[in-house]
Amino acid sequence: MSLLSDRLPAPPLELRRWSDADLPDLMSAIELSVEELGLWLPWAAEGVPSVDEERSVLAAGVVDFDQDVDWSYSLFESSSGELVGGCGLHRRSTDCLEIGYWVRSDRHRRGYATAAARCLTNAAFACVTDAVRVEIRMDRANVASARVPAKLGYQLDGDEAHELLARGHTGRRLIWSTTRDRWSAVRIESNDREPPKYLS
């Protein structure tokens, strides 16, 4: 049994682990968003992946989830039930995890990425006992993505060089982080004193 639940509440969203049954809706979301996704995400840099490519990615993600290597989720809008993006919690070292996210182009500026990242940060520290640090990284030109960790109280540690793998990349990547202790303090300061019920 995986450390993380198959479904995580992240109002106004629900995070659901990857499933082949969601492939048609996922492909539609990617097709709708590929111009923006291609600016930042290497897997979308050449356009929409084929159905077979995406099915293979989902299958690998299911295995990684079950083995507690990576935990990948689709974002479902609670009000409509529609698939509106994706996110994941990825192991980067023994005690460090990284969060990634994307939101369908017609659902921007609704706080969905922030809700997903908050949920995954809570889950990381509540469910992955060896997690000491969680990071969020993005190319420094991706201003919209950088607003997410800033809103959540992550600390900007600096930047580093990275490969130019997508059209919008500048070659410099921002590194944001929080630790178990810092995250607890942020939650207390924001009056979010109790963990979500699924983490209790």
Cβ atoms of residues 149 and 123 within 8 Å: no
In this predicted structure, the answer to whether residue 200 has a pLDDT above a threshold of 50 is no
Query: Tens of pLDDT along 96-120?
Result: 999 999 999 999 999 999 999 999 9
Pick the CATH number of 7-199 from 3.40.630.30, 3.20.20.140, 3.40.640.10, 3.40.50.2000: 3.40.630.30
On whether the pTM is more than 0.75, the answer is yes
CA distance 154 to 8: 21
Q: Where are the domains of the chain?
A: 7-199
Residue 63: exposure state from Cβ atoms within 10 A (0-12, 13-18, ≥19):
exposed
CA distance 188 to 193: 5
Query: Tens of pLDDT along 152-173?
Result: 999 999 999 999 999 999 999 9
**Residue 17, φ and ψ in degrees, nearest 5:** -60, 150
